[in-house]
Amino acid sequence: MLTKKARLRIFYLTLLSFFVAIIIFLVLKSLEENVVYFFSPTEIYYKSNISLKKKIRVGGLVKEGSVKKKEKGINFVITDLKNEIIVSFTGIVPNLFSEGKGVIAEGKLRDKKYFITNKILAKHDENYMPPEVSKALAGTK
């Protein structure tokens, strides 16, 4: 079945695919900062060229017990279990926002430890289960 012509076509196609894959990899790598939708607190901590004027997004888990109501919003802490950042949010808190769950905040850094935002998105993880199962799991913790 594999004629000489077919083999030649396979060879050229493989060669082309190899180069296209490399091109796409390089493009995505160089665009990394724009492809990444948010930075984790650890990434903010280690980033050397953070601009305090540009709007960025920080994401992670809402630290348990860190939510404090303030006049027109809330203050809370985003953690990625290695580093934390304090967030000051002004606005209406979305439905699925809760402690211990994922959140993404869009705004500006005041400094590497303090973030000011008026837009937060609740992020949920890949686990799906009925309420009874989650209660049972919580009971065994």
Partner 1 sequence: MFKNFLPNKILSINNKLINNLISLMIVILFIGFIYAIFISPPDYIQGDAVRIMYVHVPSSFISLGCFALIGIASILNLIFKIKFMPLIAKSLAPIGAVFTLISIATGSLWGKPTWGVWWVWDARLTSMAILFFFYIAYMLTWKLITKYEKAKKVSTVIAILGLFNLPVIKYSVDWWNTLHQPSSITLTSAPTIHYTMLFPLLIMLFGLAIYSLVIFLMQYKSELIKFKISNKKKNN
Contact residues toward partner 1 (CB under 8 A) are 1, 6, 9-10, 13, 17, 20-21, 24, 28, 32, 35-40, 59, 94-96, 101, 104, 120-135
| CB of 3 or CB of 48, closer to partner 1 | 3
CB 99 within 8 A of CB 68: no
Min separation Cβ 5 and partner 1, Å: 8
Closer residue to partner 1 in complex, CB, 35/81: 35
Least distance (Å) between residue 135 CB and partner 1? 8
Provide, rounded to whole angstroms, the least separation between the CB of residue 133 and partner 1. 6
**CA nearest to 123, candidates 64, 82, 62, 47:** 62
24's enclosing H/E stretch is: helix 4-30
In the complex, minimum distance from the CB of residue 76 to partner 1, in angstroms, rounded to a whole number: 16
Question: Closer CB to partner 1, residue 65 or residue 94?
Answer: 94
**Residue (52 or 129) nearer to partner 1, CB:** 129
At residue 95, what are phi and psi to the nearest 5 degrees?
Answer: -55, -50
Q: Are strands 102-111 and 56-62 parallel, antiparallel or unpaired?
A: antiparallel
Cβ neighbourhood burial of 118 (10 Å; 0-12, 13-18, 19+):
middle
